[in-house]
Amino acid sequence: MIQLTHLQRLEAESIHIFREVAAECEKPVLLYSIGKDSAVLLHLAQKAFYPSRPPFPLLHVDTTWKFREMIEFRDRRAGELGLELLVHINEDGVNAGVNPFESGSRLHTDVMKTQGLKQALDRYGFDAAFGGARRDEEKSRAKERVFSLRSKEHRWDPKTQRPEPWRLYNTRKRPGESFRVFPLSNWTEADVWDYIAKENIPIPSLYFAKTRPVVRRDGALIMRDDERMALRPGEEVEHLSVRFRTLGCYPLTGAIESTAATLPDIIAEMRASKVSEREGRIIDHDGSASMEQKKQEGYF
């Protein structure tokens, strides 16, 4: 008997989720955050609706602190695929001078990401937003549904989650409520990399090792991507061969020293790695339940 492989099963399930949203929600959007998970998400969205184009735009909530290469990559991909790209910046936050250095990671993330996301969803009236989150990333995500219902205020209530038996998703909601939908729920980091390799999906070169200007700060290697990052006394820029396991705001994303410059190298390095991918994410270390808290406040 021929059996589908686990990547084929995961792909088919994700496509099924995309189509459910297209069929049952009025105004979906794909939250495109430029990283590898978003790249897979976008690839699956194209597969789900082929030969049609995905019937929704892409939305990037720009904190203004992303790596420059991410922004170039974002604009290039949207152009190549002929997809509508919406970029939202929380201008209130910019005007208030919120930034990751002086405001701290927590406030910066809350204002520029969480509040920015809520503003954008409200502004366009989206009732379903696809996100690339995976259950293997973090403990509270492990308990989240594929269709995660959010209140009018975008809050997540872990205690009233709807059960999701089989492949049946209850997509009923009241006016103002919305869904965050996670087609990659059951994928792992290893699955994502294997799929990128198998399907030849373009990703930003920041994932590949290269000599880059980095600063050692608070135990992390931070790439100095532009002049806004002022050096503290005693700090100096080193040029090291580094790469990134996840991509976010550059001041909050730790690089790892690596020489893995190809996909097979990266996959081999990940297999041998003893730390999880979010180790490099400074925003996740604000306490064990911090992701749950951020999610309750509306973070996707």
Binding footprint of another protein on the chain (CB under 8 A): 1-13, 15-16, 19-20, 22-23, 46-53, 135-136, 138-143, 158-159, 161-168, 170, 172-174, 185-186, 188, 190-191, 194, 197-198, 267, 273-276, 279, 288-289, 292
- Please report how close the Cβ of residue 36 comes to another protein at its closest, in angstroms: 15
- Please report how close the Cβ of residue 267 comes to another protein at its closest, in angstroms: 7
Q: Which is nearer to another protein, 23 or 230 (CB)?
A: 23
- Please report how close the Cβ of residue 275 comes to another protein at its closest, in angstroms: 5
Cβ neighbours of residue 154 under 8 Å, at least 6 residues apart?
A: 117, 118, 121, 178, 298
Q: Which is nearer to another protein, 55 or 213 (CB)?
A: 55
- Please report how close the Cβ of residue 200 comes to another protein at its closest, in angstroms: 11
Q: Which is nearer to another protein, 62 or 191 (CB)?
A: 191
Q: Which is nearer to another protein, 112 or 181 (CB)?
A: 181
- Please report how close the Cβ of residue 89 comes to another protein at its closest, in angstroms: 32
Q: Which is nearer to another protein, 41 or 112 (CB)?
A: 41
Q: What torsion do the CA atoms of 178, 142, 14, 120 make, to the nearest 10 degrees?
A: 30
- Please report how close the Cβ of residue 49 comes to another protein at its closest, in angstroms: 7
Q: Which is nearer to another protein, 165 or 234 (CB)?
A: 165
